[in-house]
């Protein structure tokens, strides 16, 4: 098996699983209980909170554990609702990148009756057009939300520049760092952000747990109501202790590996693409990196590759049969037949979007793995083209 879909999820690290196991078996107490078993679970959660906070240079009391990045994103936008309710005649506006994750854009659509939603244009490079943000901000702008690293293309936005712009204009700033975590050094102080979203399973931690950083918890409203003790009263329900422990362990595990991961990501993306080009020589099939080849040399784990005239869904089915796993875009939209909204926002033709696959690497892969995968991709692409030509 050659797994090239680490943007969808990652293998849980052995070191992370080892930290979780006691809380699945021996230390199974409810952290809300006052006896020793419960107190041990609560201490484990607070340790994990410290680990996650250290991962992004925040304070532990600024970390709210959630079920993942999607819930964290939703918490941000639904926390804006009191501004609408109490605004009187003011029509607040929220600005977001035009290629944000569905959990951002769909959450925005759910509150659009109370807000003027403004989407920032996306450049051919896959980055948002930062120069368009300033003219969109006015006296009624409440929040700007721009993701750090795009989940489909691997394009990286200039988050520090955007955060500084928002700070100067006293506008809240949120950044979705789900795909950046483990690949980039995250620092809420440098980002000047008020909110930041994370997900455990993208950094070799368990699924079903994530976090929202909030500079000021007074600005957050719960999506789930319940007890006053869980997550500072902002998320009711018994905490997922093994998951939270694993998330904290994953953050600590990745902190010491980020520089290594960055070098590895650059190398493996470049090796894959150049081997693919080599294997396609003479076939009449071209390969192109959506967003430009500079994405191959950035620190993200992801690249989106157009293989001219080769239907991506057909190609992925053939790759599946060869035990090579990639995707056509976001895992949240993997069963949809429509071309990628992210690629369309970059000005890519719908037919070219349908011929594009996403590969995302990890340190579990070797150069030999990605060379082999590229050869298999090329062979299957040539097979599809030959069948189409009769």
> Hey, what are 26's tokens?
């021996």
Element (H, E) at 159: helix 159-168
- Please choose, from the candidates 212, 181, 200, 193, the residue with its C-alpha nearest in 3D space to the C-alpha of residue 300: 181
- Specify the residue for token string 């793995």: 369
- Taking only Cα atoms into account, the Rg of the chain, rounded to an integer number of angstroms, comes to 22
Nearest to 136 by CA among 163, 116, 155: 116
- Strand 210-214, strand 63-66: pairing: antiparallel
Q: Choose the catalytic residue: 166, 183, 332, 355.
A: 332
Please identify which residue in the block is written with the tokens 């204009």. 169
Does residue 193 have an active-site annotation?
Answer: no
What residues contact 115, with CB distance under 8 A and at least 6 apart? 80, 84, 91, 92, 93, 94, 108, 142
b (16+ CB within 10 A) / e for 223-252: beeeeeebbeebbeeebbbbbbbbbbbbbb
Structure token digits, residue 214: 């909030």
Looking only at the bridges linking them, the beta strands covering 324-325 and 2-3 are parallel
> In whole angstroms, what separates CA 159 from the centre of its chain?
14
User: What is the distance between the terminal CA atoms of the chain, rounded to a whole angstrom?
Assistant: 31
Integer angstrom CA distances of residue 36 from 47, 74, 229, 345: 16, 35, 17, 54
> Residues with catalytic annotation?
332
């Amino acid at each position: 098996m050659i797994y090239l879909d680490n943007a969808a999820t990652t293998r849980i690290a052995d070191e992370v699983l080892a930290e979780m196991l006691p809380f699945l078996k021996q230390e199974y107490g409810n952290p809300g209980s006052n006896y020793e078993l419960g107190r041990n679970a609560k201490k484990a959660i607070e340790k994990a909170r410290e680990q996650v906070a250290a991962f992004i240079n925040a304070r532990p009391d600024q970390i709210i554990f959630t079920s993942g990045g999607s819930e964290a994103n939703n918490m941000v936008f639904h926390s804006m609702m009191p501004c609408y309710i109490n605004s009187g005649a003011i029509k607040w506006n929220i600005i977001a990148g035009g290629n944000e994750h569905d959990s951002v854009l769909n959450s925005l659509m759910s509150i659009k009756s109370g807000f003027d939603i403004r989407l920032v244009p996306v450049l051919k490079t896959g980055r948002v057009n930062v120069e368009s943000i300033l003219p969109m901000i006015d006296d009624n702008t409440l929040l700007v939300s721009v993701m750090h690293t795009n989940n489909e293309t691997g394009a990286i936005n200039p988050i520090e520049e955007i955060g500084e712009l928002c700070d100067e204009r006293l506008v809240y700033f949120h950044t979705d760092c789900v795909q950046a975590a483990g690949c980039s050094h995250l620092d809420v102080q440098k980002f000047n952000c008020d909110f930041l979203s994370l997900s455990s399973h993208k950094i070799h931690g368990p699924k079903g747990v994530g976090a929202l950083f909030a500079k000021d918890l007074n600005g957050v409203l719960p999506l789930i109501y319940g007890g006053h003790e869980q997550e500072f009263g902002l998320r009711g329900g018994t905490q997922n202790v093994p998951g939270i422990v694993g998330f904290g362990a994953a953050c600590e595990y990745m902190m010491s590996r980020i520089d290594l991961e960055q070098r590895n990501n650059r190398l493996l993306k470049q090796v894959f693409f150049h081997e693919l080009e080599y294997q396609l020589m003479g076939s009449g099939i071209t390969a192109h990196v959506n967003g430009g080849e500079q994405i191959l040399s950035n620190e993200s784990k992801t690249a989106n590759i157009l293989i001219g005239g080769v239907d991506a869904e057909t190609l992925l089915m053939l790759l599946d049969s060869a035990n090579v796993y990639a995707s056509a875009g976001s895992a949240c939209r993997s069963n949809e037949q429509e071309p990628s909204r992210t690629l369309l926002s970059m000005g890519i033709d719908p037919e070219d979007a349908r011929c594009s696959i996403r590969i995302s690497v990890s340190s579990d892969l070797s150069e030999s793995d990605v060379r082999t995968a590229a050869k298999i991709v090329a062979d299957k692409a040539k097979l599809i083209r030959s069948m189409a030509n009769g």
